[in-house]
Chain A
């Protein structure tokens, strides 16, 4: 994929739109299939690799409408089954095609509360766009209708209009505590508040937003978007209490027993970074991706004139892992001034759990990929990282999941000089709430056990998002939040 300027993409879309207008209406399926997929306008790769602004700029209206016409309006709509929260995709896309943006966003909001976020960060190619009929006809998933981009388009359109916050039912006198202000917590707060219950959203950090704020970087998800969601909550009357660590500042059980809360939702996220347990991992210059990204995003270490929080000015950075977190860390390292960033992943690109778009963007920006390789130890001198020793792998027999397992090639060790290493191989669950809440059942991974309504082993205590699912996705966290909120609203109504 070679980069094309936004102006060029817009001009092309205009021509295409005029051509579509000239076709027999309604447009026939064959003609729809002939419309070229609309590319996402983006900042020029080498320029953006040195700034923090959003990479993907969003469709122009012309592009959105052309893209919407590509949708075949399938009767069975396989795309809907691919969306974890079952957004009515054909209906909202039809509204975009006819230019009814307000209607489109209203349809999405029947189901999803965070379309501006999910449109940007959902792994669409494995969810809604994977089964899309258009992609299937072209035998290429990247030719599917760009559902996520269209979702983002109407969500951004709505924000630009300055939408009024959702209506709140008259006060019920009931009070709900929400622990954690990530996507799961934000969703529960909104849905429970709408039913007229008082809501207090507790957040351990000094800023609300969860991973959307401290994990996913500005260049992929502008913080102003998350802030707009939080502002809406405030306008609805949700109280947000930052610097409040439930379990320590107050026990969860005390919230129920002493502070008058009628129900609690736990959306405390994943937490605890995993390390590889290899030699050299505690050298100076080795970070977990959580630390690296938090320093950069939350503490704004990238703003070197204003921020107090330091971050290493590393020249050669290795990132271990192949998920979204690894891509974010690698691309952040470039933006912090690294001359070379090496991404080291044990399997091949096909197995990378990261969104396809992020992998493509990382490559365009100059991140060097080392596939079928893995770190064996981190080398150091005087306590500081000086390099990394890797081992090559090849693909062996398929394992239980059907994926071919990487097996190491003995004696294939080689070394590369580095001055920072970022470990991005996943998270374990944070045990704090479990440890301080007697009777809260968790599984062997420390994930809170819930029933189909999100209810935990303690009455009136619900949970959802990464603390239940393990490191998952924004849309799943939101979906769980909606389900739990519905159950809380039923509980408090009865």
Chain B
């Protein structure tokens, strides 16, 4: 169980892995995620979306970006090695039906969670438009996979090194402004990008689903660490989400909460625990 079967680098600091997890492969649906931990005594529990699954092989695919200590360690693991703990599938599956035209917008690593949703939307008979956004050409991931699925693919890079130069919100807004506006938008990526995508679709009344990547611990509704405000109410991302109505999410608060541990994470990622200890002592003095 949890053995890494395959590993590949998709872009600088972005990896794809297939991991043996037959039960999860069988049960998982688009929109769901797993939580993994690399060391039972001291490891952090980190959530990652199930980007794909192969029931035959009994494997799931994860695609992750190196963000800090745990993802860095994971990136250093090789096929044959085992992930100490892996639990899932967690969260509510995406609501998939035939809406008509669905535009899927992915920013950076957000393409990973977006892919199974796009797949599901296509299978349900929707016309599928995919907008891929990245800082620069080499960070564009899953383009071939999306081209194989979608009726139309639009690529945007911040620096114009590939596709259109500019932010994903621009083509999104253009699509919404057309006579035949999309029936649903799904936007997944950094919180700021989801915030602006939601602001872009709002004036046109295009329902917009976002997938929130809050900090999590248990992922089963027990700790409340993943809470966000949606429509003025407190919701737990791990059990009520991870997908919510983007027009209702309090993104500013979420962004603040994601930054909770920035200083400690920076130190942990630097790999020097003794230094971390010294700094924390300093904080206490």
Is B84 at the interface (CB under 8 A from chain A)?
A: yes
Is A219 at the interface (CB under 8 A from chain B)?
A: no
Say which residue of B27, B265, B284 sits within 8 Å of A337 (CB atoms): B284
Is A310 at the interface (CB under 8 A from chain B)?
A: yes
Interface centre among B222, B229, B256, B264 (most CB of A within 10 A): B222
User: Does A284 lie within 8 Å of B222, measured CB to CB?
Assistant: no
CB distance from A305 to the nearest CB of B (A): 5
User: Does A248 lie within 8 Å of B90, measured CB to CB?
Assistant: yes
Residue of B nearest to A429 (CB): B221
Majority secondary structure of chain A interface residues (helix, strand, loop or mixed) = loop
Residues of B within 8 A of A250 (CB): 23, 27
Is A272 at the interface (CB under 8 A from chain B)?
A: yes
User: Does A282 lie within 8 Å of B253, measured CB to CB?
Assistant: yes
Interface centre among A305, A313, A337 (most CB of B within 10 A): A313
Interface centre among B218, B236, B274 (most CB of A within 10 A): B218
A249→B24 CA distance, assembly (Å)? 6
CB distance from A249 to the nearest CB of B (A): 5
CB distance from A136 to the nearest CB of B (A): 41
A306→B42 CA distance, assembly (Å)? 6
Is A299 at the interface (CB under 8 A from chain B)?
A: yes
A205-B218, A206-B40, A245-B90 are known contacts. Are A383 and B253 too (CB-CB below 8 A)? yes
Is A281 at the interface (CB under 8 A from chain B)?
A: yes
User: Does B217 lie within 8 Å of A291, measured CB to CB?
Assistant: yes
CB distance from B12 to the nearest CB of A (A): 24
A332→B123 CA distance, assembly (Å)? 51
Residue of A nearest to B92 (CB): A435
Is B45 at the interface (CB under 8 A from chain A)?
A: yes
Say which residue of A207, A430, A431 sits within 8 Å of B222 (CB atoms): A430
Say which residue of A207, A288, A432 sits within 8 Å of B40 (CB atoms): A207
A284→B174 CA distance, assembly (Å)? 37
User: Does A313 lie within 8 Å of B280, measured CB to CB?
Assistant: yes
Residues of A within 8 A of B256 (CB): 283-284, 382-384
A384→B44 CA distance, assembly (Å)? 23
Which residues, 275 to 332 on A, are CB-close (under 8 Å) to B? Answer: 275, 277, 281-285, 287-288, 290-291, 294-295, 299-300, 303-310, 312-313, 315
User: Does A243 lie within 8 Å of B85, measured CB to CB?
Assistant: yes
Is B67 at the interface (CB under 8 A from chain A)?
A: no
Binary A-proximity of B17-44 (CB < 8 A = 1, otherwise 0):
0000001100100000000010111111
A204→B43 CA distance, assembly (Å)? 16
Residues of A within 8 A of B222 (CB): 271-273, 290, 294, 430
User: Does A430 lie within 8 Å of B221, measured CB to CB?
Assistant: yes
Is B273 at the interface (CB under 8 A from chain A)?
A: yes
User: Does B221 lie within 8 Å of A244, measured CB to CB?
Assistant: no
In this complex, how many residues of chain A approach chain B with their Cβ under 8 Å: the count is 48
Is B14 at the interface (CB under 8 A from chain A)?
A: no
Residues of A within 8 A of B69 (CB): 308
Is B81 at the interface (CB under 8 A from chain A)?
A: no
Majority secondary structure of chain B interface residues (helix, strand, loop or mixed) = mixed
User: Does A249 lie within 8 Å of B23, measured CB to CB?
Assistant: yes
Is A242 at the interface (CB under 8 A from chain B)?
A: yes
Residues of A within 8 A of B268 (CB): 308, 310
Is B120 at the interface (CB under 8 A from chain A)?
A: no
User: Does A295 lie within 8 Å of B89, measured CB to CB?
Assistant: no
Residues of B within 8 A of A305 (CB): 273-274, 277
Residues of B within 8 A of A310 (CB): 261, 264-265, 268
Say which residue of A275, A284, A288, A432 sits within 8 Å of B260 (CB atoms): A284
Residues of B within 8 A of A312 (CB): 260
A431→B239 CA distance, assembly (Å)? 9
User: Does B224 lie within 8 Å of A294, measured CB to CB?
Assistant: no
Interface centre among A277, A290, A295, A337 (most CB of B within 10 A): A290
Residues of A within 8 A of B239 (CB): 431-432
A245-B220, A282-B229, A432-B220 are known contacts. Are A308 and B85 too (CB-CB below 8 A)? no
Is B49 at the interface (CB under 8 A from chain A)?
A: no
Interface centre among A284, A288, A300, A310 (most CB of B within 10 A): A310
Which residues, 203 to 252 on A, are CB-close (under 8 Å) to B? Answer: 204-207, 242-245, 248-250
User: Does B225 lie within 8 Å of A287, measured CB to CB?
Assistant: yes
User: Does B87 lie within 8 Å of A315, measured CB to CB?
Assistant: no
User: Does A271 lie within 8 Å of B273, measured CB to CB?
Assistant: no
User: Does A275 lie within 8 Å of B224, measured CB to CB?
Assistant: yes
Task: Known A-B contacts: A206-B37, A245-B220, A291-B217. Give 13 more (CB < 8 A).
Answer: A204-B220, A272-B236, A275-B224, A281-B234, A282-B227, A282-B228, A282-B257, A284-B260, A287-B225, A304-B273, A306-B273, A308-B69, A432-B220
Residues of B in contact with A (beta carbons under 8 Å apart): 23-24, 27, 37, 39-45, 69-70, 84-90, 217-218, 220-225, 227-229, 234, 236, 239, 253, 256-257, 259-261, 264-265, 268, 273-274, 276-277, 280, 283-284
Task: Please list 20 pairs of residues, one from A and one from B, whose beta carbons are closer than 8 Å in the complex, sorted by A's number.
Answer: A242-B85, A245-B90, A248-B27, A249-B23, A250-B27, A271-B220, A277-B234, A282-B229, A284-B257, A287-B225, A290-B223, A291-B225, A299-B42, A305-B274, A306-B41, A307-B42, A308-B268, A337-B284, A431-B239, A432-B221
